[in-house]
Amino acid sequence: MDTKNVEFARSLIGSTYADQGGASLRRREGLVRVLLTQRSLPEIGWDDATIESFLSDCAAMDSNNFLDSVGAGEREARVFSSLVKRRNMGFGHGIGRSGDVATVQPKAGGSSLIYKLTNRLALHASKVCGVTRTEGCLVLPLATGMSITLVLQTIKATMRKEGAKYIIWPRMDQKSCFKAMLTAGCVPVVVELKRVGDELCTDMEAVEAEIVRLGAENVVAVVSTTSCFAPRAPDDVVSISKLCASKQIPHVVNHAYGLQLSKACHELNEACRVGRVDAWVASTDKNFMVPVGGALVGSPSESVVDAVSKVYPGRASISPILDLFITLVSMGTTGLKRLLQQRKDVFALLKEGIETLSRDHNERALNSPHNLISIGMTVDSSIASDDPLIITYLGSMLFARGVSGTRIVNKNETKSIEGFVFRGYGSQCNEYPHAYLTAAAAIGMTADDVAVYIDRLGRCINEFKRQKRGGGGGGGSRSDTPSSPFSSQTAST
């Protein structure tokens, strides 16, 4: 209701209540005004009612919701189901136009406004997280892997000479980032990491040697990674960025869950300052607690981000954009900073818990001082087996007890991804000297989660050892327990 209408209400309900109510409406309008003028995260997050009322205004600005509209085109955002309409809060036109995902859609002023704002909020959030040298930020309705593909395709098409196809890639055992390079029509050149104590680090000499061997002009980009499972360390993005600057090779940083890591963001920012970073890609779900569906493409140069939005063919879903918009507006700077701090504190607790637990079980926590989100713990003596069935059994026991996310790494696994063979897949190197498990403290995890996790992990390891000693499923009669590989050999056939 605008001020004029409040005036009319005055004669019905009296001035006291009309003025009070009017003041409340104006406060909400004030929040919207700050958002539209500052185009940054609100200091304090908005309440749901304010968000809903703003979104409902925006939806009313789209042609499918005009009171007197009649559509005679092939895309009029007609929605059959009222449930679907509500689920989308009245938005139906998506974002973008055929030629550019970031341009204004003429039929959808409201949707376009939400998208523009979301990109600005994401830019601000990236800076709050620590990547202050971000000049352009585009939220894509694609998860991280596909967004990396799009960035690589853009670079390949717009920045490199015809025929350049190689991507120099310090090994990172995660399938989607590997497939992202293949899908972009590139040829990944895997550079093995070097082990320093327990930790696996970027081998800069090997990276440089590969560039020299292939010829810099034949390389599309170096793709580095800042967020990964222990005992892999984040890549040395600063050195890589310097090398890329000197060799004039684009540098794309896979920052998948890196925005929540202040150290990784600081390193990335340094890399942007002292060397070459063309773009970084970060997941919306992993960093901002929204359902899977989007990614941020950030860059120290606005033109790179513009080029990516122009390569995107056609329109796109607004769903992941709306999720991020709502989340960022309701988090505010204060909420985001609080969550980032909480994550740091919780990681310290997790590390402590894993260290204690490993001592209790004659194991040890892997020393990976550069990884500040994930921690590994050897399970050499607990598992004491190379049988993949036995190794994965501990993982399935945990899963059955409602513990997800623990990775039990079978260092002997060989995996082939579209013809590329990786030895020791999952352990980030050909021959890691330990069997181990990993756990991570990601944004949103609480101290209580850690306590419950450590407790259940301890119980599981005990139970695992009991079954192993007994050679059978003693105590494993719970219906949610997977069948024990210790009880009989036939289980494996």
Ligand X SMILES: *Cc1c(COP(=O)(O)O)cnc(C)c1O
Q: Which residues bind ligand X (CB under 6 A)?
A: 143-145, 172, 174, 176-177, 225, 227-228, 254, 256-257, 283
Q: Distance between CA 295 and CA 227 in Å, rounded? A: 15
β partners of residue 100: 97
Which is nearer to ligand X, 253 or 383 (by Cβ)?
253
For residue 95, the cross-strand partners are: 316
Q: Order across the sheet with 374-378: list the strands.
A: 374-378, 436-440, 407-409
- As to burial, measured by CB atoms within 10 angstroms (0-12 exposed, 13-18 middle, 19+ buried), residue 491 is middle
Is there a contact between 486 and 473 (Cβ–Cβ < 8 Å)?
A: yes
- C-alpha dist (Å) from residue 274 to 108, 171, 219, 242, 270: 41, 24, 21, 7, 6
CB of 101 to ligand X, least distance (A): 18
Q: Which residue has the tokens 């039990």?
A: 408
Q: Phi then psi for 492, rounded to 5 degrees?
A: -90, -5
Q: What's the closest the beta carbon of residue 39 comes to ligand X, in angstroms?
A: 27
Residue 228 CB, nearest distance to ligand X (Å)?
A: 6
| Nearest to ligand X of 42, 145 (CB atom) | 145
Helical segments of 39-171, H only: 48-60, 82-87, 109-129, 144-159
Nearest approach, Cβ of residue 401 and ligand X (Å): 24
With CB atoms as reference, the residue minimizing the distance to ligand X is: 145
Instruction: State the minimum distance, in angstroms, from the CB of residue 439 to ligand X.
Output: 15
Q: Residues 147, 297: contact at Cβ < 8 Å?
A: yes
Q: In the complex with ligand X, which residue's Cβ is closer, 177 or 454?
A: 177
**DSSP letters for 424-468:** TTTTTSS--S--EEEEE--TT--HHHHHHHHHHHHHHHHHHHHHH
Contacts of 5 (CB under 8 A, 6+ apart): none
Q: Which is nearer to ligand X, 63 or 153 (CB)?
A: 153
Decide whether 46 or 422 has the Cβ nearer to ligand X: 422
In the complex, minimum distance from the CB of residue 81 to ligand X, in angstroms, rounded to a whole number: 28
Question: Within 10 Å of residue 20's Cβ, how many Cβ atoms?
Answer: 11
CB closer to ligand X, 144 vs 427:
144
Q: Of 31 and 264, which has the nearer Cβ to ligand X?
A: 264
Q: Tokens 């209580």 correspond to what residue?
A: 448
State the nearest-atom distance from the C-beta of 166 to ligand X, in Å.
19
- State which residue, 183 or 487, has the beta carbon closest to ligand X: 183
Q: In the complex, what is the shortest distance from the CB of residue 102 to ligand X, in angstroms, rounded to a whole number?
A: 21
